[in-house]
Amino acid sequence: MECEHLLNASTIALCIFIFIQQVQHISATAANTKTKAPAVLIFGDSNVDAGNNNAIFTLVKSDHPPYGQNFPHHLATGRFSNGRNPGDMIASLLGIKDYVPAYQGTNLTEYDLLTGVSFASGGAGYDPLTSELVQVLSMDDQIKMFKEYKQKIKAIAGEKIAEEIISKSLYVVVSGATDLANTYFTTPFRRNYDLSSYNQLLVQFASKFYQDLYNLGARRISVTGMPPIGSLPSQRTNAGGIERNTVPLYNQASVMYNADLLKETQRLNKTLPGVSIVFQDLYTPILDMAQRPSAYGFEVTDRGCCGTGIFEITLTCNHYTSEPCKDPSKFLFWDTFHLTEKGYTILISELVARYGLNVG
């Protein structure tokens, strides 16, 4: 609560009353979750990082313009797009709140904590090496923060309500793309694995992460598959030749991984009592937007809006070296790896239409 500036007893009492009402509302939501979850808890990579990387020493940052140019007040919050990201959109669709704050580097209120935060870190992947290479928060680090978070909400709302929030919240995990795009295809450090073996390694890491969440109380977990890596502007630049064509091998790798991850989530659903792990296919809708842009109102899908759109991402996407495009709504991609707010909005709409929100 922000009551420091309220000096008299009546207003302080009002603040306390409002806070109690908020806790009671969240408790009621937790008890009746046929329509929505009490909170949204986000894990993964830059697609859902809301600013955790702002608080750590890494080059993978987006806390500067033109990132956030279409966010309220044009704030560069650390989200890797021009506006809201998928975590924000999911929380809004659930009627919980419009923005999911980062767990780190943010002045969080009790209400922020009780209704959900993002633990995601730009550049992270299921493979621990992926996070290590760019000095960001690994998936294990995110689990550690979640354990700390559990203690905080217990201190705020009491053990019973905290347990209800943990068991009935929606957990969203978006990870894997940086493992293939950045670690496997761009560096030599995992080339002792062939592509099939590396995908299987990723699925093992992913499965362990879902089971860690489950053991900490998570029951409703939505996980995303791999996007069409070979259609991302960054990979077209890196491996698409002088014409920057789509890279078929990279897209094939995504398809292989998605098939393996889907099988593993189905296995976990059968073996973990009471869990609901929903695999969500990112590949199909993003590829369709890339191949049929006019059907979605896009004009450009082979490069990003920021700068030339060929190589700009994180620190190289800035106001000093090149300006962003004039109309991001015409672009599928904001930088060379992440979608524009419009792209994310369409993607989330497609996913919700196909899979629902996994809250009941």
Q: Give the residue numbers marked as catalytic.
A: 46, 335, 338
Measure the CA–CA gap between 145 and 212, rounded to whole angstroms: 13
Q: Are 177 and 227 in contact (CB under 8 A)?
A: yes
Identify the H or E element spanning 173.
strand 170-174
Segment holding 301, helix H or strand E? strand 300-304
Question: Which amino acid appears at position 108 of this protein?
Answer: L
Residues 6+ apart with CB under 8 A from 258: 225, 226, 281, 283
DSSP secondary-structure letter at 224?
A: E
Burial (Cβ within 10 Å: 0-12, 13-18, ≥19) of residue 129:
middle
Q: How far apart are CA 337 and CA 177, in angstroms?
A: 10
Give φ, ψ of 113 to 5 degrees.
-65, -45
Specify which residues 19 forms β-bridges with. Answer: none
What is the rounded CA–CA span in Å between residue 205 and residue 175?
A: 11
Q: Can you tell me which residue has the tokens 């994180």? A: 314
Of the CA atoms within 13 Å of residue 279, those in its CB half-sphere come to 21
The whole-angstrom separation of Cα 77 and Cα 250 is 31
Coil, strand or helix: which one is 304? Answer: strand
| DSSP code per residue over 83-104 | S--HHHHHHHHTTS-S---BSS
